[in-house]
Structure 1
Amino acid sequence: MHPFRTAVENRDAAAIEALLADDVVFTSPVAFKPYAGKAITAAILRGVMRVFEDFTYEREIANPDGRDHALVFTATVAGRRIQGCDFLHFDDEGRIDDFTVMVRPLSAAQALAEAMGAQFEQIAREAAETGPRAAAPSPRG
């Protein structure tokens, strides 16, 4: 099991953040533009931990060199069952430098967008407190 999966399953925000590269780019399933930087990405992931219920990784897929992983998950958001996948790319130091999330079905993605939109002020505040200001587009893109 990959350390990122372990950190997420243990809801260990510090361990998750430690696995992120400083220049990580996070592509959200519900925002048009990606988010750049460790501080904003870590804050978004903390927000996700607040809105996802019953989160479970169901499968882990890795390429032979270990630099790309896909982690298939299920969760509940505002009463909607969501299926998704975290696509992770690792840099030369083994830190996540590219993080893309995709989710389905549309009704669950819409519930996620609404729930994360409600978290956005706190996410922006946390990112500003923990790191340099990153370009943080609104959750609606």
Structure 2
Amino acid sequence: MQKFRQAVEARDEEAIAALLAEDVVFTSPVAFTPYPGKAVTAAILRAVLRVFEDFNYVRDITDVNGRDSALIFQAVVSGKQVTGCDFLHVDDEGLIDEFTVMVRPLSAAVAVSEAMAKQFDRIQHEAAAAPTHLSEN
């Protein structure tokens, strides 16, 4: 998922959102219930760009069909070193329809949870304000 990696590393919010399917499901490392939909997923990823410092991908593992990728990253959140992985699945159009994140160690997961909780009202507001359908062409 080279395009996604490049968009994140460039901190290009529009390019990131353009790679998300309308029916994408985001599974957080710190929330039990997945978040369905492009608007909320894009809002969460914008919050991640605000919260995660020194973010960089260190490895990209993609299956032979190019449909499933694991992007291993490192970052700092609230002074804690975070190692994590974005698991991405793309649909027939090449858009991300499944997005699962895992982080370690536990102290970093707690830091991520606390930092993202502070973003939650803004995430909800941004997701609610987003158009219900965006044309990406």
TM-score of Structure 1 vs Structure 2, range by shorter chain: over 0.9
Counterpart-to-counterpart distance in 1, 2:56 and 2:94: 23
Q: CA–CA distance in 2 between the matches of 1:7 and 1:66? A: 18
Q: What residue is the counterpart of 2:49 in the other structure?
A: 49
The aligned length equals 132
Cα deviation code 1:40-62 (max 9, x no counterpart): 00000000000000001000000
**2: CA distance, partners of 1:55 / 1:42:** 17
What stretches of structure 1 of length at least 5 have no aligned partner?
A: 133-141
Shift of 1:2: 0.7
Identity %: 66
TM score, norm. by length of structure 1: 0.92
* Residue in structure 1 matched with residue 70 of structure 2 by the alignment: 70
Unmatched 5+ stretches in structure 2: 133-137
Q: Distance in 2 between matches of 1:21 and 1:131?
A: 14
The normalised TM-score by structure 2 is: 0.95
After superposition, residues 1-141 of structure 1 pair within 5 angstroms as: 2-132=2-132
Letter in structure 1 aligned against 2:113: A
Residue 131 of structure 1: how far off its partner (Å): 3.4
